[in-house]
Structure 1
Amino acid sequence: MCWSATADLVAGAGIAIMGVAAVGSAAGRPGDVPLAALPLVLGAHQIVEAAVWHHGGGPGPATLLWAVIALPLLALWVPTAVLCAAPPTARRRLLVPLASGIATSAVLAHALATRTVTAEIRGHTVGYSLGLPAAGFVVIGYLLATIGSLLLSGDRGLVAFGVLVAVGAAVSFGLWRQEYVSTWCAWAALCSVVLLLRFRRRRPAPAP
């Protein structure tokens, strides 16, 4: 989420470009590609929110697509990508956040199929409402699937990345909750830079 349509569009385009570069750097290591492609998903998400701003919020197609990416898609994508990229020794324990992601994604997908998600422009923020039952449990499952999978990955780089995501999410949520300004797009850009640098460092040297 960003503080205006222009900011969302610019941030989304920049994040998506970093995603393309990260996927290119991960070429040759299929297990890394889903995680390297995460900035592509985040970039598309920001661009979709620019359309939400443009239409003044409401329950339209852009709002629904934003929610599909933010909720069921990321709840499943992140733990799956981490499982693919993590060391083999960590994969058994990563089944826990993966199972949480599958269950959470199913609940969120059902909610989006049976309820109407709406967006409301609130100054420099956009508020989304879905009216989830047992929302607290869904949030716990979502955090276990996304941040939890990174922290349990057994890879020092991914654990540090998980801490970065957790701090950014907490700060962004606090500012958004006060309806001051949405800053997640800036943090998503920083996280995308970190991922890009990770995959560039891991890129094999060219053959002589």
Structure 2
Amino acid sequence: MCWSATADLAAGTAVAAVGAACVIRTRRARDLPLAALPLLLGAHQIIESAVWRADGGSGPATVAWAVIALPLLALWVPVGVLCSAPPNARRRLLVPLASGAATSAALGYALAVRPVTAHIRGHTLGYALDLPHPGLLVAGYLLATVGSLLLSGDRWLRCLGGLAAIGAAVCAALWRLEFISTWCAFAAVCSVVLLGWSGRRPAEAVAPAVP
């Protein structure tokens, strides 16, 4: 979505560098899936630079972009949050995890049986995929990704979830046709919050319980 192939490549490289720093700073093995999220999002932006250079279309770069944006992220985020969560927070995270698994399966099936195409619209990229029940799938996607972050009990992750929720609302309002592309780009930028999260002390992982 980032205006041009050059901008996407630069943004993706920067976000991937943040992801590498997150992985290096991580102190617990179970935090690694979430710490590696900026690496995935950075790679995602770099792949989109290839979509720009191909003038959109339905080639391998477009398919790779869609696989990351749709089924992979829908499952990666709730799994990563669940892995890093303390035992007392895991039960409530089963709902976004189940939503992510169901949404990921539906999106993966749609990508397997339907073509996805990218279209350059001025300084943005739009992606077209004929999805059944798109409203339901978007709701399940946001519950899995934003919902798991907001329910994590970790102040850093709640902050990231809040920023992602705001970004989703803004992107939906301003770029209706390019929602997934713009939201993924916004999420990539917001993932710098994970740099602070990855370097926290273990005692900071969960906010104190309110009596």
> What TM-score comes out, normalization by structure 1 length?
0.90
Q: What is the alpha-carbon distance in structure 1 between the residues aligned to residue 70 and residue 192 of structure 2?
A: 23
What's 2:6 paired with? 6
What's 1:70 paired with? 69
> What TM-score comes out, normalization by structure 2 length?
0.89
* CA distances 1:57-92 after superposition (whole Å, capped 9, x unpaired): 011110000000000000000000000112221101
RMSD: 1.9
**Counterparts of 1:133-148 in structure 2 under 5 Å?**
133-148=132-147
**1:103 maps to 2:102:** yes
Matched pairs, number:
201
CA drift at 1:190: 3.6
Q: What is the alpha-carbon distance in structure 2 between the residues aligned to residue 46 and residue 184 of structure 1?
A: 12
Q: What is the alpha-carbon distance in structure 1 between the residues aligned to residue 142 and residue 182 of structure 2?
A: 19
CA drift at 1:155: 1.7
Query: Quick one: structure 1 residues 190 and 55, their matched pair in 2 at CA, closer, same or farther if it must change by over 3 Å?
Result: closer
Q: Contact 2:58–2:116 (CA<8 Å) still a contact in 1?
A: yes
SS, match of residue 80 in structure 1:
helix
Q: What is the alpha-carbon distance in structure 2 between the residues aligned to residue 141 and residue 101 of structure 1?
A: 7
**1:16 maps to 2:16:** yes
Q: Contact 1:11–1:185 (CA<8 Å) still a contact in 2?
A: no
* CA distances 1:8-44 after superposition (whole Å, capped 9, x unpaired): 0000000001101100111x40111111000001000
What's 1:115 paired with? 114
* CA distances 1:113-132 after superposition (whole Å, capped 9, x unpaired): 00000000000111101110
Structure 2 portions without partners, runs of 5+:
204-211
User: What amino acid is the match of 2:2?
Assistant: C
CA drift at 1:184: 4.8
Q: Contact 1:35–1:78 (CA<8 Å) still a contact in 2?
A: yes
CA drift at 1:178: 7.3
What's 1:57 paired with? 56
Q: What is the alpha-carbon distance in structure 1 between the residues aligned to residue 8 and residue 202 of structure 2?
A: 30
Q: Contact 1:32–1:84 (CA<8 Å) still a contact in 2?
A: yes
**Counterparts of 1:1-208 in structure 2 under 5 Å?**
1-26=1-26, 28-177=27-176, 184=183, 187-202=186-201
